[in-house]
Amino acid sequence: MADGYNKPIPIPQPESDNYWEGAKAGELRLRKCDDCNQAYFYPRNICPECGNNNTSWIVASGNAKIHTFAIVHRPPHPGFMDDVPYVPAIVELEEGPRMATQIINVEADPSVISIDMAVKVVFESITDEISLPKFEPA
């Protein structure tokens, strides 16, 4: 674990083990329904669209665009005290699904960041088991 990391840390669950193993290996893995032929997020075995369990894993390109973002000035949790202002966001992946994330390696300024801006995934290692997929300007 990075020294002093005191933010919430994901605890992988049975349906998400492979997602987090992928992130550790530098891959953004998504579930895809082989009946709907549609990728979806977050990972679960049963397709939320059609309800079938004929689903598989794919590796996403990591290309996305910003669907929305905010700039947090008052930390909502002690772990983010030294991070403000930071930029939480929802991004739309090239494969279609949206996911929550953070935009990093950019100035936290609404005149610099914009909705629809192209971003790409980067993986930030926070523990031996967990790397968080974050996004930076493409």
Q: Is 78 in a helix, a strand, or coil?
A: helix
Please state, as a whole number, how many other Cβ atoms lie within 10 Å of the Cβ of residue 25: 11
Q: Is 122 exposed, middle or buried (0-12, 13-18, 19+ CB in 10 A)?
A: middle
Tell me the C-alpha distance between 25 and 138, whole Å: 20
Least distance between other proteins and beta carbon 8 (Å): 4
Say whether residue 123 binds other proteins (CB under 8 A). no
Task: Give the footprint of other proteins on residues 32-61 (CB under 8 A).
Answer: 41-42
Of 3, 45, 76, 128, the one binding other proteins (CB under 8 A) is: 76
Contacts of 74 by beta carbon, 8 Å cutoff, 6+ apart: 84
Of 24, 65, 98, 120, the one binding other proteins (CB under 8 A) is: 98
Of 1, 58, 100, 138, the one binding other proteins (CB under 8 A) is: 100
Residues lying near other proteins in the complex (CB under 8 A): 7-13, 16, 41-42, 67-77, 80, 83, 85-86, 88-90, 98-102, 110, 115, 126, 132, 134
